[in-house]
Amino acid sequence: MLTKFESKSNRVKGLAFHPQRPWILTSLHNGVIQLWDYRMGTLLERFDEHDGPVRGIDFHHVQPLLVSGGDDYRIKVWDYKLRRCLFTLLGHLDYIRTVNFHGEYPWVVSASDDQTIRIWNWQSRSCVSVLTGHNHYVMCASFHPQDDLIVSASLDQTVRVWDITGLRKKTVRGPPVAIGTHITSSSLQELGASSTSASSVVSRVNADLFGGNDAIVKYVLEGHDRGVNWASFHPTLPLVISGADDRQVKLWRMNETKAWEVDTMRGHSNNVSCVVFHPKHELIVSNSEDRSIRVWDISKRLGVQTFRRENDRFWILAAHPVQNLLAAGHDSGMIVFKLERERPAFGSHLDTLFYVKDRYLRIHEYSTRRDLPMLSLRRPTGHAQNGVCAGPRSLEYNTMNPSEHNVILFSQQDGGSFELLVFPGDVIASNQQGESSDLKRGLALSAVFLSRNRFAVLDKNRQIIIKDLNNEKRKSVPPPNPSTDCMFFAGTSGRLLLRTDDRVMLFEPQSRRVLAELQVARIKYVIWNQDCSRVALLSKHGITIASRDLEQLCSVTETVRVKGGGWDDRIFLYTTLNHVKYCLTNGDTGIIRTLDVPVYITRANQKQLYCLDRELKHCILSVDNTEAVFKLALEDKNYLEVMNMIKHSKLCGKAIIVYLQEKGYPEVALHFVDDLQTRFKLALACGNIEVAMNTAYEIGDDECWHRLGMEALRQGNHQVVEMSYQRTKNFERLSFLYLLTGNIEKLRKMLKIAEMRRDIMGRFHNSLFLGDATERTRVLEEAGQSPLAYVTAVSHGMLEEAGRIKELLQSAGRPIPIVLHNSQLMQPPTPILRSDNWPLLAIPKSTFRNSYEDQSEHGDTVDHTSSPGWDADLDLDEHDVKVDEVEAESDEVGGWGEDLDIDDAANEDADYASSNLKADEAVSRTYIVPVAGICPENRWCKNSAHAADHAAAGSFGSSMNYLNRQISIVNFSPMRGRFLVLHAASKSSVPGLPLSSSYEIAMLRDGNVANGSCFPRIANSMPQLIDALRNSYRLFQKGNFQASRERFHHILRCIPLIIAESRSHANEVGFSSILFSFPLVCLVI
């Protein structure tokens, strides 16, 4: 049994699969109905309106409806899209056991403990028929998939088959013609109306009491000794299966005239709760209160499989109408499972696909689409004939033997077995068919080809057996790890991939060496690319891409199961349950398309995927891998190809924008967006002031102008900064900007503006920036600060103004402040540079543009006239307006002058910015900011695999990982102090200039900063540890065991973080084995 999904909940009494979607309904004993997505393993919805247990549940085949019946005697019809109950059907007088939708008509059949079966019309919300005849609880009732039949089971020990043809004719085709409107006489019309009305009332009462003649009992199946709990139809054959409290499962057959018992299947040790037919195979599945699920063969009437739970009794079974899925409800939840694997066994080589179908090894040619059987396989023995584990699990083709075809089929029969098929290379061309007598067989846990004429077998004793193509043993090699349970092809001759629980090893049987190993979750499939330079290791929920020597390149984790994959050059395409995705060797992934049903990739060729579905049908999927090719070209720095794809491909979406931002190409992402906010952020990220300013005009948000001013200030373009401050009316920043640039004329305007706005602090600051002591004195006096005004006037030599203020203070009776004789005049600082604009921080050309221009100079495929550079190639002029035009536009729409009511301010500012823009661009080319290098800490972690270097760099996590893998340290708490010492000793701090931060210098072992492979100086050294060891020996000899033990522990913590500078030091580290005994001796003493 292959468990696909399992839930934990209260006792499950009802189950129902959705016909199309991966949903399952569960009705619980506590009255809750749960809607699960068994593919994703998530709870979608809960419905809780029943009072008491809900025993019956079902999905409608087409409409978004579900029906439920519970112990509150009510049937509820729900709309799962609206997530509410639509209406309630009342009529039953006792517990409702099951409910079931009809596949074609708007009917619902329900079975109840009131000994009746009712058929409801859910459109008219009424009961259309009551089926009576059982004299005990009716445990279940359901419609036949095609015929007008109902089967019911009751505790009266009978199974009844009901014929509802009369109900269909009456309800679907309308009333008889006799009670129509063909009566012409008025007296006959009145008489007919009255008689019809009376007869309808009588028939309705009789139907409620005794059951109508719309549904009649066709067969009564008697044979069980105790009450029958379940009965169900076969979907296509005239068969009925039933399970009862007598612990038996009975199979019944019926024809047009009679029904009879075919056989009885015994094996359950308690009441049989439910029994159903398998949807795909001729099997019967039953569960019981004996905590088991049993699978029976219909033809042989024998039990073929048994699954048990230790503590949970099973109550209900459900079979998916289309897929090979079953579900079982028990005391603590439910499980969704399969009886067999549906993955086809196949292997692909060049233009040919080898696969197994209907006991034949078949080939399929991709180019001609020719498909034909090549070899007849032996008939499965034992339980495999019944459809359970019938086919081979895997197929391995020998790609190293060009002279003939060699195929190994591996299956789970007899605990694991293989079949070796050998046939000539011209068999495919001649359409000849071999015989199954040529097969070589054997028992094994795994089998894989090793070379042209050798294959390896992992036998039951976990030994690797090397055999030739005659299935004769040539050599026996023990695996390096005793827990090896599977082998895979290693991409080249003479090597094997061995799988253990948590890793994969590259093993060479000839030399018995492990060449490499990779720690990865339990893998299931190995897929090599065309030249065997890359390999994809597929596990249940993950993919690991590695090189030929098993060096991990990337790893991807999925939330759903990974079904298969294939290589398209350097792109690995793989399928999950519902998607086709891609994975690159740098770890980039993405979704290409969705899938309706799971498929298995056999070959990937450009934009086509050749696949096999679970029915072993060939299908070709068209895929668009433009996004993957774009990312691959970006990784390869093939910028010409990137620009061509941008021009001619339809790459869009937030995912590609975020990807370009993360990779450091915001200037490329800028041309994929139309959203103004995103475009503005990208323009600031790549330093494009013009685009950012045009976008800010369109947005009209003060926050955008503020951010634009910050970026322009970083680049030194104070004209754009001035415009940003004007748009946001940030007067304080604007005044300070004029102070720094020495623009005295505009500072006077700012003083006038502050006076018009009655801004006292603004007037004071601007007068202070201008050095206007008279204005400053006036502002202080108007603000009521006469003493400060007197001090300012005296300090600046304005004696007349000081005398006037002194008289005012004396008349007001206020004290005269004392003015210090050593006071100095406050004058504004002189600007360092009084030019029109500062030297701008040059934004260097992007790598794309430089590469494109280089390829344009040396290549013949570039049109110089139409594509002069990156900007023209991406049509920047269509979106971005020149700064002169933007400023002119800002003058037309109003701005500085209109906002502040100053006649000539706006025009002067705009003319001032426009006249100096070209000068700014010329100056911007004079200075290029240096590119930031790699910090020493990153270089240490990248170039070293020693834990001490990582600890010195501050990467404690990676240092602990190395120590755990190298010497299996688990508890790192005692090592915390040593880590901090190494990190602190790897740098020195040098004081900087006043008002600036200190400068950190990395302490290197070789002392050469320019060396690209330099490493940090480590605080611990071998001479220090040897001296500490001698001191510890002395303390031990003196009997000071406590201090000696602490010294020994200190030395032991330092040893893993020692870097041996010479071979002699490396040999001296070996004394650590002696140290382990000393702390123990000290502790005992």
Digit-coded pLDDT (tens) for 939-980:
788 778 788 888 888 888 888 888 887 787 888 888 888 888
Residue 335 pLDDT exceeds 80: yes
* Residue 445 CB neighbours (<10 A): 19
Q: Contact, 874 vs 646, CB < 8 A?
A: yes
Would you state the pLDDT for residue 835? 59
DSSP state of 545: E
Distance of alpha carbon 726 from alpha carbon 899, whole angstroms: 9
Least confident of 12-21, 617-626, 662-671: 662-671
CB–CB of 24/338 below 8 Å?
A: no
Note the pLDDT of residue 1.
79
Retrieve residue 842's tokens. 């040059």
Calpha distance 354→368 (Å, rounded):
15
Task: Note the pLDDT of residue 1058.
Answer: 80
Q: Is residue 860 pLDDT above 70, yes or no? A: no
**Strand, coil or helix: 284:** strand
Cα separation, 253 vs 259, in Å, equals 6
373 DSSP assignment: E
**CA 466, CA 457: separation in Å to the nearest integer?**
6
Stronger pLDDT, 889 or 577, i.e. the higher one:
577
**pLDDT tens-place string over residues 505-537:** 999 999 999 999 999 988 999 999 999 999 999
C-alpha to C-alpha distance for 686 and 668, rounded to whole angstroms: 9
Q: Which of 54-58, 372-376, 788-792 has the highest mean pLDDT?
A: 54-58
- Assign 156 a pLDDT band (cuts: 50, 70, 90): very high
Beta-bridge mates of residue 36: 24, 43
| Per-residue model confidence (pLDDT) at position 593 | 92
Contact 296, 302 (CB under 8 A): yes
Q: What stretches of 175-331 adopt beta strand conformation (E)?
A: 216-222, 228-233, 239-244, 248-254, 259-266, 272-277, 283-288, 292-297, 303-308, 314-319, 326-330
Residue 872 in this model has a pLDDT that exceeds 70: no
CB within 8 Å of 326: residues ≥ 6 apart: 276, 278, 285, 317, 318, 319, 320, 336, 337, 338, 339
Token digits of residue 254: 């019926």
What whole-number distance in Å separates Cα of residue 287 and Cα of residue 268? 8
Kindly tell me if the per-residue pLDDT of 691 is higher than 80: yes
3-class SS letters over 573-607: EEEECCEEEEECCCCCEEEEEECCCCCEEEEEECC
Structure tokens at 1069: 């580290």
pLDDT above 90 for 341 = no
User: β-pairing, 417-424 with 84-90?
Assistant: unpaired
Tokens 């290379």 belong to which residue?
A: 425
The string of DSSP letters for 44-109 reads EEEE---SS-EEEEEE-SSSSEEEEEETTSEEEEEETTTTEEEEEEE--SS-EEEEEE-SSSSEEE
Residue 1064 tokens read as 């002699």
User: What does DSSP assign to residue 817?
Assistant: P
Neighbours of 215 (CB within 10 A): 27
Phi and psi dihedrals of 928, rounded to 5? Answer: -120, 130
**CB of 416 closer than 8 Å to CB of 408:** no
Which H or E run contains 702?
helix 702-715
- pLDDT tens digits along 205-257: 555 555 556 889 999 999 999 999 999 999 999 999 999 999 999 999 999 88
Output the six-digit token pair for 798.
């304005």
**3-class DSSP state of 1037:** helix
- How many other CB atoms sit within 10 Å of the CB of residue 996? 8
- Neighbouring CB atoms inside 10 A of 174's CB total 9
Q: What share of the chain is helix, strand, coil (3-state, %, to 5)?
A: 30, 30, 35
**Which residues, including other chains, have CB under 8 Å from residue 220's CB and lie 6 or more apart?**
158, 159, 160
Residue 113's φ and ψ, nearest 5 degrees, are: -75, -5
Cα–Cα distances in angstroms (integers) from residue 505 to residues 480, 481, 555, 710, 889, in the given order: 9, 9, 17, 55, 69
Contact 136, 154 (CB under 8 A): yes
pLDDT at 826: 66
Helices and strands per DSSP (H, E), number in the chain? 33, 57
What is the pLDDT confidence band of residue 446, given thresholds at 50, 70 and 90?
A: very high
Closest listed residue to residue 608, CA positions, set 293, 891, 249, 367: 367
Q: pLDDT at position 191, please?
A: 34
User: What is the structure's pLDDT at 67?
Assistant: 97
User: Given a cut of 80, is residue 88 above it in pLDDT?
Assistant: yes
pLDDT, residue 83, reads 92
DSSP string, 903-962: TTHHHHHHHHHHHTHHHHHHHHTT-BPPPP---HHHHHHHH---HHHHHHTT-HHHHHHH
What is the structure's pLDDT at 177?
37
Contact predicate 951/1057, CB 8 Å: yes
For position 889, what pLDDT does the model report? 39
CA dist list (Å): 477 to 162, 228, 465, 488, 777: 67, 59, 6, 16, 101
β-bridge pairing 503-508 and 513-519: antiparallel
d(CA 317, CA 287): 7
**What pLDDT was estimated at residue 888?**
39
**pLDDT, tens digit, for every residue of 896-913?**
433 444 344 434 444 444
Query: Count of residues for the chain?
Result: 1085
Tokens in use for 34?
Answer: 């749960």
SS3 872: helix
